[in-house]
Amino acid sequence: MQKEPVKQDSLTRNDGSVIYDAPAADSVLATNKVLRNTYMLLAMTLLFSAGMATLSMALQVPYFGPIVTLIGYFGLLFLTAKFRNSAAGIVCVFALTGFMGLTLGPLLSAVLTMPNGNELIMNALGSTGLVFLALSAYAIKSKQDFSFMRGFLMVGLLGMLTVIVLGLFIDLSAFQMAISAGIVLLMCALILYETSQIIHGGETNYVMATVGLYVSLYNLFINLLMLLGLGGDD
């Protein structure tokens, strides 16, 4: 009986240096697949969210209020995480991003009533896109591991949630510019961290990776819009 050839996991030179490492190559292929699927799904959810925001504006959907928004967001986020490894997870992602698009409609409608509303929205949208592309390109090209930011980001997100809850009971409009600036910086750090997690294998589920990047972009856009409006005394 003829023996089957032994599968080699790596090839080495005479001096011991590695020419080809199969496990490393498989890891790179898996990472590239997650990154590709994440960006593909992110693009689709952004378009869907924009469509829902447009529909919300056309139907003049009223502002849901912070409590309904938070319940809807965290409820759909929980479902997405629960079904992240199945086809239902894709449905939950579109439900979540569509809901967030609906909540964005009333804000955009209010901005459009301003004399320079169109300009504010386009500037915020363009700035969001440029920031995302620049940060993603840097994280991918540099291959730097930003996992050291985990603790800082956790504290920042808890702080942001605390501010949101306080805003339900206290008027924080006088501090809005400082709050928005802080959230913009936090979202930029999150984009770096989330992209780094995908590259270095910390996040292997493209559904959750998509949700993380979408939420960062959503908050980045809203707070850039707030900063541009406040900077123009609007």
The answer as to whether 109 is a domain residue is yes
The answer as to whether 124 is a domain residue is yes
pLDDT in tens, 174-198: 788 888 899 999 999 999 999 999 9
The answer as to whether 1 is a domain residue is no
Helices (H), the chain: 22-58, 66-82, 87-112, 117-142, 150-167, 176-199, 206-231
The answer as to whether 2 is a domain residue is no
Given the structure tokens 């409006």, which residue do they identify?
229
The count of structural domains within the chain is 1
pLDDT in tens, 86-108: 999 999 999 999 999 999 999 99
The answer as to whether 140 is a domain residue is yes
The answer as to whether 178 is a domain residue is yes
The answer as to whether 3 is a domain residue is no
pLDDT in tens, 204-217: 899 999 999 999 99
Burial class of residue 190 in the structure, from the number of CB atoms within 10 Å of its CB (0-12 exposed, 13-18 middle, 19+ buried): buried
What are the tokens at 41? 């799904």
Give the predicted TM-score (pTM) of the model. Answer: 0.84
The answer as to whether 163 is a domain residue is yes
| pLDDT score at 66 | 83
- For residue 105, give its domain range: 10-231
> Which of 215, 187, 223, 186 is CA-nearest to residue 107?
223
